[in-house]
Amino acid sequence: MKLFNKWETKGINHKDLGLAKYINLNERIVPNSFGSTNNLATRKIRINIVERLANKMMRSGQGKKKLSGKYIRNRNGCGKKDQSIKSVEMAFDYIYATTKENPVQIFVQAIENSAPREDITKLQKGDITYTQSVDLAPIKRLDESLKNIALACFKNTYKTKKEPHIALAEEIIDASKNDQKSFAVKRKDEIERIAQGSR
């Protein structure tokens, strides 16, 4: 069984063994679980990673932090999962046409290259509040990576004629190469640099 009846999900290589366990590549033609894992404690781990990207593409509202107020996400795509899955499928087709490699492998590399290892948390002692560097759990690293890849797609299609699937494909390709043109890779480097200053 192949993803979208096109792409093989077996034999994918992982550089980051800390994330390998959490990157679910279970065999599905259409990456849609129809909410069957909603009541399970480990629901995020049980959902196919491609479906999780499609879910991130459906989020509504404004961007976060530096992107706040600049655009409304996804051009009225909130809740339209079929539309989101179609965009991901078209992005994978574009990746294959550009790189001639398995887009699932490229996507996994992009996730691994854009997953931050450290972040900061606020601590308080009496009236004094300060930041402290902390290691991130693998599931949190994965969440941050997927969120930033999806945000890059929204950012690159804001007030432009670029199609969402092309913006998503270009972001995944750049992130897989660890290129600084990638928003997700830049965001990861920024998070780790701030964390390093708070050690």
Map out the domains of the chain with their CATH numbers. Answer: 17-197 (1.10.455.10)
Which three-class secondary structure state does DSSP give residue 129? strand
Give this prediction's pTM. Answer: 0.84
| Torsion sign across C-alpha atoms 47, 49, 54, 58 | positive
Contacts of 82 (CB under 8 A, 6+ apart): none
Cβ contact 182:176 at 8 Å: no
All residues at 6 or more sequence positions from 138 whose CB lies less than 8 Å from its CB, including other chains:
18, 19, 21, 22
| pLDDT tens readout for residues 142-190 | 999 998 898 888 888 877 788 888 999 999 999 999 988 899 999 999 9
pLDDT digits (tens, 9 = 90+) for 36-91: 777 777 778 888 898 889 888 887 655 555 555 444 454 555 667 888 888 899 99
